[in-house]
Structures are given as structure tokens and as C-alpha cells.
Homo-oligomer: A and B are copies of this chain.
Amino acid sequence: MELRQLRYFIKSAELLNFTVAAHNLYISQSTLSQQIKQLEDELGMPLFDRIGKRVRLTEAGSQFLPFARLTLSDAESGRAVIDDLKGLKTGELRIGVTYGLSTLLTPVLVQFSAQYPEVKIIVEFGTSEDLLDKLKSTRVDFLLSFLELQDNDMFISQRLYESPLTLVVHPSNPVADKKSIAIKDLKDIPLVLPAKGFHTRHFLNQALAENNVQPNIKMELNDINTLLQLVETGNFCTIMTVAAAKGRQTLKTIPIKGLNVISQASITWPKDSYRKKAALVFTEMIKKQMK
């Protein structure tokens, strides 16, 4: 049993497709096949069922998987400890972010990178489920998201701030003069909204349904940046958290009366695992810049 084999096993278990997994691991399919077989031989039990051309985890495989993950994660923590001793002169920092928080992230990215140029930063955008998956398998060090999960066995959250949903408009837009807008009036405003899968959209849908409002949705897209660019043309408005719209000086936010959906931005850590110094420093920067 070697860490290499555990890495191979985990990827294969995640993708349930040796060919794709091998490609992902930058090895050949035959190598992967052999290494898995070797691991199975050593353990004395198959980890995968080969049903025809499909593979799926055996009972043994499912039971083994969390331990394989744990093993690899501990090894990574060991590496992180060493990196930390180098005083942030090296190492990697992997951050998982929901799209809506990119505006919060960017200035800190710039600041951190300037202060610790030797630390390589990998930012992973994704939906909440994607990100939780990545956190679980320690492919990111922490999450920046609107997830509100009660602390459980695997994760622990720190609240950052609350951000209400708001209407975002360009000054040239007719609506731009209003001090606030009633939720009912949303039906008359041409909207471009974040696509399904965005937490914002999820909350919004719920609130609109409760108020029996049929919004006038012109477009849905899954990239906040593009979405805001569309709003900047003055032709559309959008609805998102105040935090997400922040930093776009050209745009205006208008409170929506009666829409009391508030997103809770938070940092989520894996429980019981080493927090590398780079991650701690980074999150502190985030907390600081919010003030």
C-alpha cells in the first residue's frame, strides 16, 4: 500500500471510470488498472466490482475509501506543517469560492499575493455542492460561500457577514432613481439573473413564490461577471447579494422592500484537520477588509 495507490484509488472511486481517472491522474489506463489490482491483491479483497464495462465500489471499497482519504489528507497536513515552517515562503493555498463572493475575494487575493508572492494560490469556483465535495476530499483548504450549514462532524463554519439581496442597476436605467422598490414591482423590470444552482437564485425563487410575483426574466447565466457586464449596459437589472455587487462603482444597488432574504456569507473549514498558516492568514485578511 502506497500513497500513490491510494491517490489512484480515490480518483477512480470518485469518477467510477478508470479511463477517465487515469487521464485525470496523467497516467495510462493500463497503469491505473495494474495499480488498483495490486492494491486489491495486497488488501486481499476487490475494491471495485467490474460489471461488464462498468466499475462500481464494492462494500470493501466503500469502507476503505474514507480511510484512504484520511490517510492522504494527513500526509498533506504533514506537508503543510513543513511549508508553514518556511514562513509562507512556499506552498499552495487552495480556496473554494461561490461565484457570488468573488468580489469579496479579489482585493484580498491581490493583497495576499503581494505580501506573500511565494505562495501559489489556486482559486476554485463552483456551486455549493461542488465546493463541499472538494472540501471533503481536501482539494481546497477552506470555502468562502453562502452555505449555512450547522456545524457537523466534518465541517465547521465561521460567519462573515450578512448580505441582503438587492436590485442592481446601471445609473442610466429608468429604475435607478428610486430609493427602494417593492417586491411586487419586480415583475415589470427586465431581469438577468444568476442561473439555477446559484444559492442566490434559490433564495430568490423562494421569496418570489411566497409573494406570488412572476418576475420578468430575460436571461439566466452562470457567470456573475458577465451578468454584471450586462447590467452595465443599462438594459437590464439583476438581483444578487449586496456583497456580490460591491466593487462595481458604476452600478447602483436598490433595496427591495419586503424581500427579507439575507444571505449569510461564511468561511467553512474541514473539522479536525491542520489549518495551514497561509489559509489562516488569508482568512484573517478577509475578515479585516470587511470592516
Contacts and interface: CB of A to CB of B under 8 A. Distances in A.
Interface of A: 1-4, 6, 43-45, 59-60, 63-64, 67-68, 70-71, 74-75, 77-79, 81-83, 85-86, 90, 274
A73 to B, nearest CB: 8
Nearest to A82: B43
Contacts of A86: 44-45
A81 B67 contact: yes
B82 A60 contact: yes
Q: Kindly name the residue among A2, A63, A82 whose own CB sees the greatest number of chain B CB atoms within 10 A.
A: A82
Given A2-B2, A2-B3, A71-B78, 7 more contacts: A1-B78, A3-B3, A43-B79, A43-B82, A45-B82, A45-B86, A63-B81
A60 B77 CA distance: 13
Nearest to A9: B78
Contact of A77 (B2, B4, B59, B67): B67
Contact of A75 (B1, B59, B83): B1
Task: Indicate how many identical chains form the complex.
Answer: 2
Contacts of A6: 75
Nearest to A90: B44
Contacts of A3: 1-3, 71
Q: Kindly name the residue among A68, A78, A83 whose own CB sees the greatest number of chain B CB atoms within 10 A.
A: A78
Given A2-B3, A3-B1, A45-B82, A67 B75 contact: yes
B64 A78 contact: yes
Contact of A63 (B44, B68, B71, B82): B82
Contacts of A60: 81-82, 85
Contacts of A67: 74-75, 77-78, 81, 274
A45 B79 CA distance: 10
B82 A44 contact: yes
A220 to B, nearest CB: 44
Report the 10 A-B pairs with minimum CB-CB distance, sorted nearest first. A67-B78, A71-B74, A70-B74, A71-B75, A43-B82, A63-B81, A2-B2, A60-B85, A64-B78, A2-B3
A7 to B, nearest CB: 10
Contacts of A70: 74, 77-78
A31 to B, nearest CB: 16
A1 B74 contact: no
A86 B3 CA distance: 23
Contacts of A74: 67, 70-71, 74
